[in-house]
Amino acid sequence: MRVVLLGTGDSPGTPVIGCHCKTCEDARKYGWERKRFSVMIQNDNKVLLIDTSPDMRAQLLHMNVERVDAVIWTHCHYDHFAGFGDFYRVQSNVVVYSSPEVHEDIGRYMEFLKYKPVEIESYEPFDFFGMKVTLVDVNHPPLRRAHGIVVEWNGYKIVISGDTNKDVPQKSKAVMMNPDLFIVEALAPEGYRFRKHMNASEAMLLAKEIGAKKVVLTHLGHFFPPHNIAVKKYPLGHDFQTFSFGEEARLDEFFGP
Ligand SMILES: [Zn+2]
Ligand SMILES: [Zn+2]
Ligand SMILES: [Zn+2]
């Protein structure tokens, strides 16, 4: 199984259009960027996408992905679903899993696209080609519903926080406990405060609380110093970073037995 961070940026991405801060200028100068949020899970030649970022086309082309087997939407924000339209005319009737509320909200934007919405509930695991996938509720005001994702396969556990502030419900934390890999959102370094997101120290605290063995921060804004500097202090993810498990564990991160 491979887990790939297709995009590690926040909603405007980095560099931000029209922004001349140190980080955005560094990104332009040295040719790095943060695409918008999406995580790809590949197992047994099946492709599961967690969210469909507005940068979807470039992300799939970069990874040579020819077919998507299913999508899970975590919540109804533009940076997490808008790229779904990139499947249009390429693949029809893609299966999309989410809670009824998220489907209803995103469905309003997707009226003209054909796909197969499948409603699932938090805390009720479902099988996706041998992987056990569970949605959990997280806290992303003012949205009425937002989800984190827990994926279990062959004794490995991967948890994706989704967009959330630090007030993750206890019931969700119980399901998220002891992951081998925790992909967690952190919009900015410590010192910044947001109503709907975490900063890096809140994210690291949550990682500690659930006993994460490895942590990677994502959904990163230009509030962080340039990547090469900030990565010395925080376990910042980068676009297309890949984590491999089981037999696939021979790429850039090793989780083999
Ligand atoms: Zn900037
Ligand atoms: Zn969001
Ligand atoms: Zn977001």
What pLDDT is attached to residue 256?
44
Q: Is the pLDDT of residue 14 over 80?
A: yes
The phi, psi pair for 61, rounded to 5°, reads -65, -40
94-143 pLDDT, tens digit each:
999 999 999 999 999 998 888 999 999 999 999 998 999 999 999 999 99
What is the 12 CA–ligand 3 centroid distance (Å)? 9
Residue 190 in tokens: 């410590």
Pairing of strands 215-218, 181-185: parallel
Per this entry, what is the length of the chain?
257
Distances (CA, A) of 148 to 103, 120, 163: 15, 13, 8
133-181 pLDDT, tens digit each:
999 999 999 999 999 999 999 999 999 999 999 999 999 999 999 999 9
Domains of the chain: 2-248 (3.60.15.10)
What is the 131 CA–ligand 3 centroid distance (Å)? 25
40-60 pLDDT, tens digit each:
999 999 999 999 999 999 999
192-206 pLDDT, tens digit each:
999 999 999 999 999
What pLDDT is attached to residue 241?
97
What pLDDT is attached to residue 90?
86
Greater confidence (97 vs 249) lies with 97
What is the 75 CA–ligand 2 centroid distance (Å)? 7
pLDDT band at 26 (very low <50, low <70, confident <90, very high): very high
CB 68 within 8 A of CB 212: no
Q: Where are the beta strands (DSSP E) in the chain?
A: 2-7, 38-43, 46-50, 70-72, 94-98, 115-119, 126-128, 131-137, 147-153, 156-160, 181-185, 215-218, 241-244
What is the 247 CA–ligand 3 centroid distance (Å)? 32
Radius of gyration over alpha carbons of the chain, in Å?
17
What is the 69 CA–ligand 3 centroid distance (Å)? 23
Distances (CA, A) of 64 to 47, 73, 110, 172: 12, 22, 25, 34
Residue 191 in tokens: 């010192």
